[in-house]
Amino acid sequence: MKTVYSDLHGLQDAEAEFIRGKRVPSFEGPRRAELVLARVKEAFGLESVLERREFGLQPLLEVHDERMVSFLSDFWPRWSEENGAVDAFPNAWPPPRAHRRQTQRIGAELGRFCVDMSSPLMEGTWRAVSAGADVALTAQALVSAGDRAAFALCRPPGHHAGRDYFGGYCFLNNAAIAAQSFIDQGASRVAVLDVDYHHGNGTQDIFYDRGDVLCVSIHADPTKEYPYYLGYADETGEGPGADANCNLPLPWGSDYATYGEALVAGVSRIKQFGAEAVVISLGVDTFESDPISRFKLRSDDFLYLGKTIAKLNLPTVFVMEGGYAVEAIGLNVVNVLSGFEN
């Protein structure tokens, strides 16, 4: 399997995030992708890694609000002129029923789009995240040109980014952008299977009222875990998207015995739906030693995860999402991909 990678991800390099009132070193950083890349090269060979091609803004605007995309691309000069070269966190958010009229303060506008305190904007954010979207689109293009599968080694991740908001370390929804691209190339039904520990709230948000993209997410119970406000089993889609959303929340402490059952259920939903291609939001933060998560998957379990996904027998784009146990992230990702291939 080919892997698509761009080192521009390194421009998103947050020093810190805020967890339970404390400023702590960011769990999401460049080392994650570097370590995955190193393992991929060992497992699949140096020549299996390709640079991204550039696709421009249009594919981003198919799934994201134009105002958010231009906010992200134009943010830094305005912010740094006012505040200096300091990572940008919001400190105000519009309450429910607030006015939509634009303020004259960049920090106040930031709170309209940024939903939490884990995802600072910095000088290189736009270049990093637009390169990440191109990585996903390049992998999608390989698959649409006939490769059975490809791995988009995206960083930062994307599945928490909705149509017009970002957060959870995510800015542009790489998996949604790839899924939409299959549709734009003529597929009538596509599925996104999100195996990250956290609910793929952004992806769900983007496709919730659409019947052409089925979203299936297996994740920790949102009553206890980020993203909290979405990810419940009774969210099944609306309008033309009725019954095209499937959430499979699992309790803290779930191991592969429990996880594997949900995975088989999710995979059979995708078969039933009649998807012509699948995009996997590949987070490995379900790993037992993940520092911010509470599932109990072992490294070998990721082989089975990959094997089960392969049973779909569909053109498959893997898109990197979470996973913060950096010492094992490369092994866990490569296990999914190898399990899929063998």
Our finding on whether 219 is near ligand SP5 (CB under 6 A) is: no
Reported as half-sphere exposure (CB side, CA atoms, 13 A), residue 112 has a value of 19
| Position with the least CB separation from Zn ion | 322
Comparing CB distances to Zn ion, the nearer of 87 and 196 is 196
Phi, psi for 287 (deg, rounded to 5): -60, 145
Among 118, 144, 201, 245, binds ligand SP5 (CB under 6 A): 118
Residue 310 binds: one of Zn ion, ligand SP5, none (C-beta under 5 to 8 A by kind): none
196 part of the interface to ligand SP5, by CB under 6 A: yes
- Residue in 160, 198, 199, 219 annotated catalytic: 160
Q: List Cα–Cα distances, 68 to 19, 136, 275, in angstroms.
A: 25, 19, 30
Chain positions 256 to 285 lying near ligand SP5, rule: CB under 6 A, are 283, 285
Q: How far is the CB of 48 from ligand SP5 (least distance, A)?
A: 25
CB 196, min distance to Zn ion, A? 4
Helices 125-144 and 174-184: crossing angle in degrees, nearest 10, is: 40
Helix (H) or strand (E) holding 2: strand 2-4
State in angstroms the smallest separation of the CB of 121 from Zn ion. 20
Three-state DSSP class for 25?
A: strand
- The residues binding Zn ion (CB under 5 A) are 196-198, 283, 285, 322
Strand order through the sheet with 245-250? 49-50, 2-4, 149-152, 316-320, 277-282, 190-194, 213-220, 245-250
Alpha-carbon span 252 to 250, nearest angstrom: 7
Q: Is 99 a catalytic residue?
A: no
The Cα–Cα gap between 322 and 283 comes to: 4
x/- letters, 303..332, toward ligand SP5 (CB under 6 A)? ------------------xx----------
Amino acid at 339: G
49 near ligand SP5 (CB under 6 A): no
Cβ atoms of 126 and 75 within 8 Å: the answer is: yes
Q: Is 210 in the site for ligand SP5 (CB under 6 A)?
A: no
* Residues 6+ away with beta carbon under 8 Å from 292: 19, 27, 285, 324
Nearer CB in complex with ligand SP5: 6/173: 173
- Which value, to the nearest 10 degrees, does the dihedral of the CA atoms of residues 219, 223, 224, 226 take? 60
Kindly give, in sequence order, each residue whose CB lies less than 8 Å from that of residue 71, ignoring residues fewer than 6 positions away: 109, 113
State which residue, 223 or 268, has the beta carbon closest to Zn ion: 223
**Residue 322 in contact with residue 198, Cβ under 8 Å?**
yes
- Diameter over CA atoms, the chain: 56
- Per-position x/- string for 136-175, each x denoting binding to ligand SP5 as judged by CB under 6 A, each - no binding: ---------------------x--x-------xxx-----
CB of residue 231 to Zn ion, shortest distance in Å? 11
Give the residue ranges of DSSP H helices in 274-325.
Answer: 301-310
Compute the C-alpha angle 282/235/308, nearest 5°.
35
- One of 11, 50, 117, 292 touching ligand SP5 (CB under 6 A): 292
- For ligand SP5, the closer of residues 231 and 283 by Cβ is 283
Comparison of 133 and 170: residue with beta carbon closer to ligand SP5? 170
Does position 19 bind ligand SP5 by CB under 6 A?
yes
* 282 vs 309 by CB, closer to Zn ion: 282
Residues near ligand SP5, by CB under 6 A: 19, 118, 157, 160, 168-170, 196, 198, 226, 283, 285, 292, 321-322
Enzyme catalytic residues: 160
